[in-house]
Amino acid sequence: MMINKTLFLTYVYLFIYILLSSGVILYNKWVLSPKYFNFPLPITLTMIHMAFSGAVAFFLVRVFKIVSPVKMTFEIYATCVVPISAFFASSLWFGNTAYLHISVAFIQMLKALMPVATFLMAVLCGIDKARCDVFLNMLLVSVGVVVSSYGEIHFNTVGTVYQVTGIFAEALRLVLTQVLLQKKGLTLNPITSLYYIAPCSFVFLFVPWYLLEKPVMEVSQIQFNFWIFFSNAVCALALNFSIFLVIGRTGAVTIRVAGVLKDWILIALSTVIFPESTITGLNIIGYAIALCGVVMYNYIKVRDVRASQNPVESLPDRITKDWKFEKKSSDIYVPDNIDDNEGSSGGNGTASDMKHDEETPLVSSRLSHIGRTQLTNQYATGK
């Protein structure tokens, strides 16, 4: 009975994650789109998310003391948190700006490039090795995205460039998280990540906001509805917490499967909620090709983790490790992201294993990235 209850709760948490992850992306699109709420200020929206999530994280860490802060020195903050926050802010900025130019469905298809971007950044930074099997998977993903882009009826170069740039910014942030923070022996959960990174990201976003969006706000009659932005920020923050719950009850394989399911659901929902979004047969074929590459890549990473287990250990120990694999695999990742872009960091795996959920600016985006965008950071905490 206890097992059934535990399994039931796991499915409930996965459902909540998929619901919130999809909801935040669709909500952001609705708020930013000139055809709907008409608040075409993505930097402002992201700054609202950062301010809200940073404030909540502060109360949880310093006031209610639900989570303990890590030992953070000025040197670690300046050399690790600051550069990570800069790329985090960039990924959210570019990712949210893409909503102004291209459809949610096409954005999800482009997000299939996340493993490619992360792998390339990891190889360039020397924390991963170029391998033929992984390279072929990355090539398959890229071909699929190109085919999907070719089939996009409302293809927009500006929006595509923004989204791809945001993906590579997020990939570089994941790599920096491993290279910088993990070298210092620091592991941040979703709450402590927001506590340290959200305020710094807010400061980085202030510069482009002052130059690009402040003049627009002064001359345009932009509507500001407190409850709309408050509920939007709450949804993004709730996504962060749902990621925390999901990672505590599932492993890398389950999360990735849930991410793939979420992507397909989101693509279908977006065409219903936003009628101007049109999906062609070539879109689907291209995305299916890219998805095959992503699934094969995930299989390789999981296989590598299993192969790293000691081959001479006793059979009972091996069975025990296999049973715990879903919980403690160093390949487990967390959506860092909020907006779809979906900010937490930590883990023990390689950066190329990480996924990003661009969906929420809080975690940013976008759990990835689970699947599409997939969960972003990895955790080996065994939660």
Quick one: what percent of the chain has pLDDT higher than 90? Answer: 35
Half-sphere exposure of 120 (CA within 13 A, CB side): 15
Q: What is the mean pLDDT of residues 311-323?
A: 46
Spatial separation of the C-alpha atoms in residues 10 and 40, rounded to whole Å: 37
One domain, residues 162 and 35: no
Name, in order, each residue with C-beta under 8 angstroms of 16's C-beta and a sequence gap of 6 or more.
242, 245
Is residue 312 assigned to a domain?
A: no
Confidence band, pLDDT 50/70/90 cuts, at residue 214: very high
Q: Residue 252's pLDDT is what?
A: 58
Phi-psi label, residue 379: left if phi above 0, alpha if psi -120 to 50, beta otherwise: beta
Query: Which of the listed residues 233, 260, 276 is the one where a domain comes to its end?
Result: 276
Q: Which domain holds residue 76?
A: 44-102+156-221
One domain, residues 203 and 62: yes
Residue with tokens 């959960």: 189
Spatial separation of the C-alpha atoms in residues 214 and 316, rounded to whole Å: 63
One domain, residues 162 and 215: yes
- Average predicted confidence (pLDDT) for the chain: 78
Query: Which of the listed residues 181, 199, 221 is the one where a domain comes to its end?
Result: 221
Name, in order, each residue with C-beta under 8 angstroms of 363's C-beta and a sequence gap of 6 or more.
190, 193, 236, 239, 240, 243, 334, 335, 336, 337, 338, 342, 343, 344, 357, 376
- Better pLDDT: 329 or 111: 111
3-state helix, strand, coil in the chain (%, to 5): 70, 5, 25
Q: Is the pLDDT of residue 152 over 80?
A: yes
34 exposed, middle or buried (CB, 10 Å; 0-12, 13-18, 19+)? Answer: exposed
One domain, residues 88 and 217: yes
Spatial separation of the C-alpha atoms in residues 195 and 372, rounded to whole Å: 26
One domain, residues 232 and 271: yes
How far the first Cα of the chain sits from its last, in Å, is 22
Q: What is the mean pLDDT of residues 301-328?
A: 55
Q: Residue 330's pLDDT is what?
A: 34
Residue with tokens 């796991």: 10
Q: Do residues 250 and 14 touch, judged by C-beta distance below 8 A?
A: yes
Spatial separation of the C-alpha atoms in residues 243 and 248, rounded to whole Å: 8
Is residue 198 assigned to a domain?
A: yes
One domain, residues 215 and 73: yes
Confidence band, pLDDT 50/70/90 cuts, at residue 190: confident
One domain, residues 71 and 196: yes
Query: Which of the listed residues 195, 221, 247 is the one where a domain comes to its end?
Result: 221
92 exposed, middle or buried (CB, 10 Å; 0-12, 13-18, 19+)? Answer: buried
Is residue 179 assigned to a domain?
A: yes
Q: Is the pLDDT of residue 353 over 50?
A: no
Q: Do residues 383 and 365 touch, judged by C-beta distance below 8 A?
A: no
One domain, residues 96 and 171: yes
Q: Which of 174, 145, 143, 160 is nearest to 342 (CA)?
A: 174
- Better pLDDT: 219 or 32: 32
Q: Residue 143's pLDDT is what?
A: 92
pLDDT tens digits, one per residue of 54-109? 999 999 999 998 888 888 889 889 999 999 999 999 999 999 999 999 999 999 88
Is residue 124 assigned to a domain?
A: no
Provide the number of structural domains found in the chain: 2
Spatial separation of the C-alpha atoms in residues 92 and 75, rounded to whole Å: 25
Is residue 26 assigned to a domain?
A: yes
One domain, residues 31 and 75: no
Most confident listed range (44-58, 282-296, 314-328): 44-58
Q: Residue 299's pLDDT is what?
A: 81
Q: Do residues 95 and 365 touch, judged by C-beta distance below 8 A?
A: yes
Q: Which tokens in the block code for residue 289?
A: 């090709």
Quick one: what percent of the chain has pLDDT higher than 70? Answer: 78
Q: Do residues 32 and 42 touch, judged by C-beta distance below 8 A?
A: yes
Q: Is the pLDDT of residue 360 over 60?
A: no
One domain, residues 165 and 266: no
One domain, residues 215 and 161: yes
One domain, residues 162 and 210: yes
Q: Is the pLDDT of residue 157 over 90?
A: yes
Is residue 352 assigned to a domain?
A: no
Q: Residue 3's pLDDT is what?
A: 57
- Determine which helix (DSSP H) or strand (DSSP E) holds 275, and give its type and residue range: none
322 exposed, middle or buried (CB, 10 Å; 0-12, 13-18, 19+)? Answer: exposed
pTM of the model: 0.78
319 exposed, middle or buried (CB, 10 Å; 0-12, 13-18, 19+)? Answer: exposed
Residue 17 Cα distances to 57, 247, 322, angstroms: 20, 10, 26
pLDDT tens digits, one per residue of 257-310? 777 788 888 988 998 899 878 888 898 999 999 889 888 887 887 787 778 765
Spatial separation of the C-alpha atoms in residues 81 and 4, rounded to whole Å: 42
Q: What is the mean pLDDT of residues 141-159?
A: 89
Is residue 35 assigned to a domain?
A: yes
3-state secondary structure of 268: helix
Q: Residue 293's pLDDT is what?
A: 87
Is residue 160 assigned to a domain?
A: yes
